[in-house]
Amino acid sequence: MVKCLECGFEADRLQWTHFKFKCTGRFNNGVEYRKVYPNAELVDKELARNTAITLDNLIKKYGEIDGKLKWDEYKSKQAISNSYEYKREKFGWSREKFDDYNSSRAQTLEKMIMRHGEIDGAKRWEDYCLKQAYTNTKDYFIEKYGVEKGTEYYLTVNEKKAIPNNPLLLSDHLNISVDEATLIMMNRKSKHHYSNVELEFTVMLEDQLGFRLDHTSLKSPYGKWSHLLNTYVIYDICHKNCIIEFNGDYWHANPEIYIESALIRNSKAVDIWHRDMLKLKTATDSGFKVLTIWEQDFKRNKALTIEKVIQWMLSELE
């Protein structure tokens, strides 16, 4: 049971009807109530655990196979409503508010310790990780259902689990565009790769512009499905109709440094250039304006490079 700190009423859940019609009349809903009593509970903890949409609860309700599939479908739909684009269009959120919101929701070891104490929190986190890992193994399904059915169920579940990781399958599953599905995947990734020099370039560019860019490798990268490469590609910076690729001299085989036959990570420089060309064509075919900045040029004159990028952006922005 939870107790209303305003009037003393007790129930397993304090709903808006209580605040609007039965309480003191000071609040219309739980949101207004929590502004005055920020630490107050609205739902009994046991009830919240039993009714929350979790993998365990869905398995209890629908069984092992359907429960896991419904969990994957739920996560896919949540990814749309939890994306920056959705929050910006529906609620007018800024990038800063979106980042703060995501940081407060993340399930991490630190959050477990904060909620349950250092010893119990660490133990709960370890148990959570081990359980999540084991329930996704073939051994788990065989142990639970036997060799024949366990193997069949394992293959069925993993076939469905491939949907959230493939833009083509995900777009068909959710009846959305491939680009929308790709953005969902981008928002799910917890870590994105970028170099220190790209970090410096992006920070300098945003500082000089005076606003946050829509998509960067640092936060919320922008991706598109490329029919030319038959995979999705990720761009370093995307703002409105402008895409900027910050090419590392080694990773992208700067033609001022490397010859066509040079081997970079077992790939010839000419092949790297061809792939990058198709990646940029994917963007231009979709109506984007594209600019490539080389690491070498930025290092030679950082201020001048940033100035040129800003002039280009201002002339191309719609």
User: How far is it, in rounded angstroms, from Cα 222 to Cα 233?
Assistant: 8
Q: Based on the domain organization, do 116 and 87 belong to the same domain?
A: yes
Find the domain containing 243 and state its range: 191-316
Q: Based on the domain organization, do 95 and 179 belong to the same domain?
A: yes
Q: Based on the domain organization, do 195 and 181 belong to the same domain?
A: no
State the maximum Cα–Cα separation within the chain, in Å, rounded to a whole number: 79
Q: Based on the domain organization, do 304 and 264 belong to the same domain?
A: yes
Q: Based on the domain organization, do 119 and 196 belong to the same domain?
A: no
Tokens of 201: 């370039």
Beta bridge partners of 289: 242
Q: Based on the domain organization, do 64 and 165 belong to the same domain?
A: yes
Q: Based on the domain organization, do 257 and 156 belong to the same domain?
A: no
The structure's pTM equals 0.51
Half-sphere exposure for 255 (CA within 13 Å, toward CB): 9
* Residue corresponding to tokens 């064509």: 281
Residue 70 is predicted with a pLDDT of 80
Q: Based on the domain organization, do 123 and 233 belong to the same domain?
A: no
Return the DSSP state at 13. B
Q: Based on the domain organization, do 215 and 298 belong to the same domain?
A: yes
User: How far is it, in rounded angstroms, from Cα 237 to Cα 291?
Assistant: 10
At which of 136, 168, 186 does a domain end?
186
Return the DSSP state at 43. B
CATH number for the domain harbouring residue 212: 3.40.960.10
Beta bridge partners of 246: 293
Q: Domain tally for the chain?
A: 3
Q: Based on the domain organization, do 205 and 306 belong to the same domain?
A: yes
Q: Based on the domain organization, do 198 and 242 belong to the same domain?
A: yes
Low-confidence ranges of the chain (pLDDT < 50): none
SS (H, E, C) 270-298: HHHHHHHHHHHHHHHHCCCEEEEEEHHHH
Q: Based on the domain organization, do 181 and 65 belong to the same domain?
A: yes
Residue 194 is predicted with a pLDDT of 82
